[in-house]
């Protein structure tokens, strides 16, 4: 077991692309850290550099306090689980799991004992003599995990290990991976592009974008206090609503109406030297059916026509489209591109709200909706910075 430190680690490929720009990251001994970000943001490259499968262009990588930039993967004592599982097809499950031990020249009985133990933990005992081709996807995934844990390495690296499983199995394996990691207490770096996986698994989540760190923090911090538009939009499902907002004399004009500027907001706006045009962000759960709110005075209430109601049983997702056009910012375009680039009409903004199941709101009708003004975030559209975070101590590390 060991800690892993990335010190201004950069990767440039021979073709000129720089996939990772000077990343600083400290992973404590025994910690479970998730690298998350849209596809192509450099997660795998970062992981491969830690593994030793890719050279580090500049910067320093330390494992257990020692600089390992120039060490071959086999001298780093790290195990890796691949997205494709990469099982050796010509070997049985037993031979697959024994392979790293054999290479380490371990005694035969010792190997048998360790493989047996790992197989038991992963419920693979009765499949030990089968070839990977005859296993189901979930079983193959477990063999890949088994091959990693038999060695008791200093750290585990996992590159989207669950993304080839179907949705149900994925949720099941997610808990298993989490339990296994807690049980073994081995430092783990886990890569995924799925923010749900990131939020549910990790002690700490690292959000990456275009080869840069965006924010590092525990899942709740990322959710409650995103440092910029990108993190705010990437974390959470359904994602945060973004609306255009204009700062006026004593109010903030947004598509729902005019929000009064309270002292806190006014102070933040002055401190941040904010532009007049802002992006307002608010999560779906910070809305409620006005009829169900007691102290409606504390928030902001508006009326809007309901587009669609989706009842989930426990609560209702209610969709509105509001006058005033979608918020415009470069970060938002990136997010939309990552989400599949849904075409939104240009004169209206979509609003997703999560209301209590008791709400009587129906599609096609006007609804009175309450919004918790304390929970709004204001972002600078050009830099993407979250202005509402300024007064408090910075949440996690923010890199440009």
Partner 1 sequence: MATLDTGPRAKLKWGLLDAVVVVFALIPVLWVVSLSLKTTATLTDGNFIPREWTLDNYRLIFQTDQFVRALINSIGIALISTLIAVVLGTMAAYAISRLDFPGKALLVGVSLLIAMFPQVSLVSPLFNIERQTGLFDTWPGLILPYITFALPLAIYTLSAFFKQIPWDLEKAAKMDGATQAEAFRKVIAPLAAPGVFTTAILVFIFCWNDFLFAISLTSTEQSRTVPVALSFFTGASQFEDPTGAISAAAVVITIPIILFVLFFQKRIVAGLTSGAVKG
Ligand X SMILES: Nc1ncnc2c1ncn2[C@@H]1O[C@H](COP(=O)(O)OP(=O)(O)O)[C@@H](O)[C@H]1O
Q: Which one of ligand X, partner 1, Mg ion, none interacts with residue 187, CB within 5 to 8 A by kind?
A: none
Give the integer Cα–Cα distance in Å for 248 and 187.
50
Residues in Cβ contact with 151 at an 8 Å cutoff, skipping those fewer than 6 apart: 77, 79, 100, 101, 104
Question: Smallest distance, Å, CB 159 to partner 1?
Answer: 9
Pick from 53, 1, 56, 60: which is nearest to 32 by CA?
1
391: tokens are: 């007064």
How crowded is the C-beta side of 186, counted as CA atoms within 13 Å? 23
Q: Which one of ligand X, partner 1, Mg ion, none interacts with residue 260, CB within 5 to 8 A by kind?
A: none
Nearer to ligand X, 23 or 398 (CB): 23
CA 302 to chain centre: 33
Give the integer Cα–Cα distance in Å for 3 and 185.
12
Query: How many other β-carbons are positioned within 10 Å of the β-carbon of residue 337?
Result: 10
Q: Which one of ligand X, partner 1, Mg ion, none interacts with residue 17, CB within 5 to 8 A by kind?
A: ligand X
Cβ atoms of 82 and 37 closer than 8 Å: no
Question: Smallest distance, Å, CB 44 to ligand X?
Answer: 3
**Under rule CB under 5 A, residue 192 binds Mg ion:** no
Nearer to ligand X, 15 or 126 (CB): 15
Residue nearest to ligand X (CB): 44
Nearer to ligand X, 190 or 320 (CB): 190
Q: Which one of Mg ion, partner 1, ligand X, none interacts with residue 40, CB within 5 to 8 A by kind?
A: ligand X
**Under rule CB under 5 A, residue 48 binds Mg ion:** no
- The size of the interface with Mg ion (CB under 5 A), counted in residues, is 1
Binding site for partner 1 (CB under 8 A): 14, 51-53, 72-74, 78-80, 82, 84-90, 99-100, 103-104, 131-135, 137, 140, 147, 151, 164
Nearer to ligand X, 37 or 146 (CB): 37
188: tokens are: 């783990």
Nearer to ligand X, 47 or 63 (CB): 47
H helix runs in the chain, sequence order: 43-51, 93-103, 108-121, 137-149, 167-184, 195-201, 219-224, 229-234, 263-272, 330-338
Nearer to ligand X, 17 or 303 (CB): 17
Binding site for ligand X (CB under 6 A): 13, 15, 17, 19, 37, 39-45
Residues that bind Mg ion (CB under 5 A): 44
């Amino acid at each position: 077991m060991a800690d892993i430190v990335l010190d201004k680690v950069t990767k440039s490929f021979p073709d000129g692309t720089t996939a990772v720009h000077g990343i600083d990251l400290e992973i404590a001994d025994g910690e479970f850290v998730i690298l998350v970000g849209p596809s192509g943001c450099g997660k795998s490259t970062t992981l491969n550099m830690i593994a030793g499968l890719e050279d580090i262009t500049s910067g320093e990588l330390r494992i257990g306090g020692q600089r390992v930039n120039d060490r071959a993967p086999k001298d780093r004592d790290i195990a890796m689980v691949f997205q494709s599982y990469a099982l050796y097809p010509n070997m049985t499950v037993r031979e697959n799991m024994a392979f790293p031990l054999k290479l380490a020249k371990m005694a035969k009985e010792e190997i048998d004992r360790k493989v047996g133990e790992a197989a038991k933990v992963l419920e693979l005992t009765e499949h030990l003599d089968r070839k990977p081709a005859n296993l189901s996807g979930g079983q193959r995934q477990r063999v890949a995990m088994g091959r990693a844990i038999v060695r008791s390495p200093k750290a585990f690296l996992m590159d989207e290990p669950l993304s080839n499983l179907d949705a149900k199995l994925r949720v099941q394996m997610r808990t298993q991976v989490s339990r296994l990691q807690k049980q073994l207490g081995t430092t783990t770096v886990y890569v995924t592009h799925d923010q749900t996986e990131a939020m549910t698994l990790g002690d700490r989540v690292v959000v990456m974008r275009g080869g840069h760190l965006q924010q590092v923090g525990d899942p709740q911090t990322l959710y409650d206090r995103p440092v910029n538009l990108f993190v705010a939009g990437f974390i959470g499902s359904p994602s945060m609503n973004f609306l255009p907002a204009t700062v006026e004399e004593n109010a903030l004009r947004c598509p729902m109406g005019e929000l009064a500027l309270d002292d806190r907001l006014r102070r933040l706006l002055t401190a941040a030297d904010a532009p007049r045009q802002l992006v307002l962000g608010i999560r779906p759960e910070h809305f409620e059916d006005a009829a169900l709110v007691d102290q409606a005075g504390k928030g902001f209430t508006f009326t809007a026509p309901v587009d669609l109601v989706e009842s989930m049983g426990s609560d209702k997702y209610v969709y509105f489209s509001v006058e005033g056009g979608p918020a415009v910012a470069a970060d938002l375009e990136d997010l939309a591109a990552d989400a599949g680039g849904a075409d939104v009409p240009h004169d209206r903004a979509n609003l997703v709200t999560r209301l209590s199941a008791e709400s009587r709101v129906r599609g096609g009708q006007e609804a009175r909706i309450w919004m918790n003004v304390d929970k709004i975030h204001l972002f600078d559209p050009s830099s993407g910075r979250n202005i509402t975070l300024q007064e408090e101590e910075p949440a996690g590390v923010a890199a440009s």
